[in-house]
Amino acid sequence: MEHQINGVALPNEAGFFGNFGGQFIPPHLKEAMDEINQAYEAIRHTPEFQDELNDLFKNYVGRPSPLFHAKRLSEQLGGAQIYLKREDLNHTGSHKINHCLGEALLAKRLGKKKVIAETGAGQHGVALATAAALLGLECEIHMGVVDIAKEHPNVSRMKILGATLIPVERGAGTLKEAVDSAFESYLEQLDDSMFAIGSVVGPAPYPEMVAYFQSIVGHEAHHQFQQLTGKLPDVITACVGGGSNAMGIFNAFLDDKATKKVGIEPAGEGLDTQYRHAATMSKGVKGEIQGFKCYVLLDEDGNPAPVHSIASGLDYPGVGPQHSYFKDTGDVQYDSATDDECLNAFMLLSRLEGIIPALESSHAVAYAVRTAKNMSKDQTILVNLSGRGDKDIDFVLGQLDVAAYEVK
């Protein structure tokens, strides 16, 4: 593999990032994963594939996404200057379209008729349904019933785009169960379909493949930030559930040791609560989930624990193997933000900059708000604003009296 950090090729031929990742799956599923991996490695560097993907990024997604200096927010906090990588302005409203187009193109090249996936907040589901419509593929999306109730706008978008929505009622009825359900359906349709996972999780080759398609975010930001400010950011932060948007922006800065990279997990109702957070890096242990090794939150019986976040796209008890590896190496640091901090950040950015962020992205904004106050005005924080919050507005209105909200 050509991806190198500190001279170590990532992943190895078995799909491991250090001790994390790999394939822990039945033989018939391994055959399907190997088929996807071989096709991915064979076509991703071909001029035809690159030209088609780059044309779609530019003329369909609207890349490059802008880099924006949040001046009023920075002034309000009185410390570091905060900049936003505006992935929320992409077609479909988040970073998810980046890897969904790559996965859908790959499925098309493999001769598959359908793409199957899970979704939490619905951003991945909308993006995949969009890519499928564009490329003439069928699309099947599995979504927990709790998330369906919270994310009505994205549910409607998926239906309009032609996706078949499969409600998942088992367990907690959220993201982890949706992944399980989608994989089970895929096992029954291996010949005609491709599983198009929504983050840097799952068995190899998905963590590497999704990170590769998302790496455009970091490469753009690396160039844009230097062009705009003449230097690199002091801190880069992004929310982490599975971790696709964080890997996307961290990727290009991993060799820039002076730039601190911080992934923000959901602390939910508090790290000291039982099953009311999803802070895998802070409270998890090394384990295995859904076919790969990573840090994972476990219950008393050693099974993946029920988790909670106000943001449906972050309530996952595992995390991508790259993030697990970077936690151990120290290349990336991991922190968390509570539901209350997230809601405050959501409102702050809305009121001070006229930008309504996704609740997922609001976790990273919350960290920037907390951290900027303790930094000098000549220092900088780059936030990956991974998605827009129109999907969350009804939910937030049910949580806050926004008319009485005061910026402070």
Tell me the C-alpha distance between 279 and 323, whole Å: 13
- Predicted local distance difference test score (pLDDT) of residue 4: 56
How many C-beta neighbours within 10 Å does residue 179 have? Answer: 29
Q: Is the predicted pLDDT of residue 1 greater than 50, yes or no?
A: no
Q: Are 325 and 206 in contact (CB under 8 A)?
A: no
Q: Is the predicted pLDDT of residue 9 greater than 70, yes or no?
A: no
- Give the mean model confidence (pLDDT) for residues 102-106: 97
Task: Give me the number of domains the chain comprises.
Answer: 2
- Predicted local distance difference test score (pLDDT) of residue 197: 96
Same domain, 28 and 67: no
Of 90, 137, 144, the closest CA to residue 387 belongs to 90
Catalytic option among 87, 118, 140, 265: 118
> 164 lies in a domain?
yes
Same domain, 327 and 372: yes
Same domain, 198 and 311: no
- The CATH number for 200's domain is 3.40.50.1100
Same domain, 264 and 386: yes
pLDDT in tens, 200-217: 999 999 999 999 999 999
> 334 lies in a domain?
yes
Burial code of 129-145, b = ≥16 C-beta within 10 A, e = fewer?
A: bbbbbbeebbbbbbbbb
Q: Are 245 and 87 in contact (CB under 8 A)?
A: yes
Quick check: is 386 catalytic? yes
Quick check: is 58 catalytic? no
Structure tokens at 193: 């379909």
Q: Are 275 and 268 in contact (CB under 8 A)?
A: no
Domain stops at, among 207, 241, 275: 207
> 261 lies in a domain?
yes
Domain stops at, among 187, 207, 227: 207
pLDDT in tens, 346-356: 999 999 999 99
Cβ contacts of 84 within 8 Å, gap of 6 or more:
67, 68, 70, 355, 382, 383, 385
C-alpha distance from residue 381 to each of 71, 237, 238, 269, 361 (Å):
12, 8, 11, 26, 14
- Predicted local distance difference test score (pLDDT) of residue 45: 87
How many C-beta neighbours within 10 Å does residue 360 have? Answer: 32
List alpha helices for 44-165, DSSP H: 47-56, 71-77, 96-109, 123-135, 145-150, 152-160
Q: Is the predicted pLDDT of residue 137 greater than 90, yes or no?
A: yes
pLDDT in tens, 40-94: 999 988 999 999 999 999 999 999 999 999 999 999 999 999 999 999 999 999 9
Same domain, 132 and 40: yes
Q: Is the predicted pLDDT of residue 2 greater than 60, yes or no?
A: no
Same domain, 250 and 385: yes
Catalytic option among 176, 353, 386, 391: 386
Q: Helix, strand, coil: what percent of the chain each, to 5?
A: 45, 20, 35
> 84 lies in a domain?
yes
Same domain, 237 and 197: no
Q: Is the predicted pLDDT of residue 296 greater than 50, yes or no?
A: yes
Q: Is the predicted pLDDT of residue 8 greater than 60, yes or no?
A: no
> 54 lies in a domain?
yes
- Give the mean model confidence (pLDDT) for residues 263-287: 98
Tell me the C-alpha distance between 342 and 236, whole Å: 17
Same domain, 202 and 312: no
- Predicted local distance difference test score (pLDDT) of residue 345: 98
> 319 lies in a domain?
yes
Residue 152 corresponds to which amino acid?
H
- Give the mean model confidence (pLDDT) for residues 129-134: 98
What is the phi/psi pair of residue 55, to 5°? -65, -40
Q: Is the predicted pLDDT of residue 3 greater than 70, yes or no?
A: no
Q: Which residue has the tokens 């309000």?
A: 76
Q: How are beta strands 16-17 and 20-21 bridged, if at all?
A: antiparallel
- Give the mean model confidence (pLDDT) for residues 137-141: 98
Of 400, 314, 391, the closest CA to residue 149 belongs to 391
Name the pLDDT band for 7 (thresholds 50, 70, 90). Answer: very low
Q: Is the predicted pLDDT of residue 320 greater than 70, yes or no?
A: yes
Mean pLDDT of the chain: 95
Range of the domain at 129: 24-58+95-207
> 257 lies in a domain?
yes
Name the pLDDT band for 5 (thresholds 50, 70, 90). Answer: low
Domain stops at, among 207, 242, 277: 207
What is the phi/psi pair of residue 176, to 5°? -60, -45
Cβ contacts of 213 within 8 Å, gap of 6 or more:
98, 99, 101, 102, 103
> 14 lies in a domain?
no
Same domain, 317 and 353: yes
Catalytic option among 74, 85, 87, 96: 96
Name the pLDDT band for 105 (thresholds 50, 70, 90). Answer: very high
Same domain, 372 and 251: yes
Same domain, 295 and 373: yes
Tell me the C-alpha distance between 335 and 364, whole Å: 10
- Predicted local distance difference test score (pLDDT) of residue 408: 83
Same domain, 380 and 250: yes
- Give the mean model confidence (pLDDT) for residues 3-19: 76
Tell me the C-alpha distance between 116 and 206, whole Å: 14
